[in-house]
Amino acid sequence: MAVVPAAVEIIVDVTGVGHGGFGIARHDGRVVFVRHALPGERVRAHVTEGTEDSRYWRADAVEILTPSADRVEPPCPYAGPGKCGGCDWQHASLPAQRRLKADVIAEQLWRLAGIEWDVEVEPVPDEHDGLGWRTRMTYAVDEEDRAGLRRHRSHDVVPIDECAIAHPGIRSLQIEQRPWPGMESVQAAVSGTGERLVIAEPGQRDVDVPELPADVSVAMTDEHGKIRTVEGHAELTETAWGRTWQVSAGGFWQVHPGAADLLGEAVAQAVRPRPGERALDLYSGAGLFAAVLADGVGHDGSVVAIEGDRRAAADARNNLADLEQVTFRTGPVDRVLGKEDELGADVVVLDPPRAGAKLNVVHEIARRHPRAIAYVACDPAALGRDLATFATAGYRLSGLRAFDLFPMTHHVECVATIVPADEPAT
């Protein structure tokens, strides 16, 4: 197949939005996915991927011929065609970004699960400009030892002076201004208590991390991917749901400062755990939702937290050691559920990775006949596929909240409430 020449430019009308942060257009009967464009715009687009025989092309909008009323000037100089690929919607107002994300969620639910749903994406309380929220960043290091971010769908590193969506605690580390000789990547994190951590991944052995402020903890990954502490502490202290949490270096915690409490409240509202009930927290991470469930079921109830990552499971055990009603299982969720038939469930919370829970986990949940399920989803397509599977197992969607936890990007978080299909609608 002949490759489309690099200089090919087309003029298209953008008619919709697609999952992944692009507009949808057509050219000579072919679908074109156009980044840096908005629905309702006519743009001149540079084709970046595709062949003459391809069913679809990818392209960047390089000139806006007819702008949308929702278009704004991107707040970051590195947002745009051929630049940093981290943000998808900086050229759209924040209300427009949320409408676009709502459209994507609704389309995925309809296309993948046959569910028609009126979706609203809620802002995080006190969110003003969509900047300065990201508390965990991963930078790539180029051949000149400069830290930067990658171009969209590319391994090329774009050196930057500062990331506009990075939390001020991250920016204060000045990762981008320091040379990183011998390093492949650099992770930086700041906790809700103000602790800062840098994890360097060396591309060669026997290299040192550049000098950082004395109050910054420093770690490095070894040749096996394990993290060893160089200076300070191997974990960060977070606060959420009225508790203090220890999260190991490299461990998972929500990247928006307001996310943990917001999701905890949404999960509690979705399943409304009752005193004495049995609860399952699947993909439990550091234990946030297990704590939410424990508050609801009380001392007479039980919560079983299941997590496949040993580091996260250890964090959860430490974080919830004071809650006698919470017990833990470490291993892949589908295997643990498949082996332990005695694990009953009146309510279930699951927060799977981006790929979703998939068939086996959905069936293992359904055969326990919970009265309510809260599905925390970071990918609307995975949510749609799993909701279709839940439908075949006798469950239906009864509620959905969506949150703009990742402003300026196409990412969005959903909390879906799932109940038995024969339960009357409320």
Which residue is listed with tokens 């930086």?
Answer: 188
Is 163 assigned a catalytic role?
Answer: no
| Annotated binding residue 351 | yes
375 is in an annotated binding site: no
Please tell me whether 90 is known to bind a ligand. no
Q: Write out the two tokens for 185.
A: 């990547």
Q: Which residue matches tokens 């500062």?
A: 162
398: amino acid identity, one letter = S
Going by their DSSP bridges, the two strands 56-66 and 30-35 should be labelled as: parallel
What's the chain's length in residues?
A: 426
> What are the strands of the beta sheet with 16-18, ordered from one edge?
9-13, 42-49, 56-66, 30-35, 22-27, 16-18
Check the CA dihedral 291-263-282-423 and report its sign: positive
Tokens 């020449």 label which residue?
A: 5
Of the residues 84, 87, 163, 378, which is catalytic? 378
**What are phi and psi for residue 228, nearest 5 degrees?**
-120, 140
Please list, in sequence order, all residues whose beta carbon lies within 8 angstroms of the beta carbon of residue 287, skipping any fewer than 6 positions away.
245, 281, 305, 315, 316, 319, 320, 326
Please check if 204 is assigned to a binding site.
no
Q: Which two tokens stand for residue 423?
A: 């339960």
Measure the CA–CA gap between 254 and 124, rounded to whole angstroms: 13
Q: Is 175 in contact with 198 (CB distance < 8 Å)? A: yes
Residues annotated within the binding site for S-adenosyl-L-methionine are: 254, 283, 307, 351
Residues annotated within the binding site are: 254, 283, 307, 351
Which residues are identified as catalytic?
378
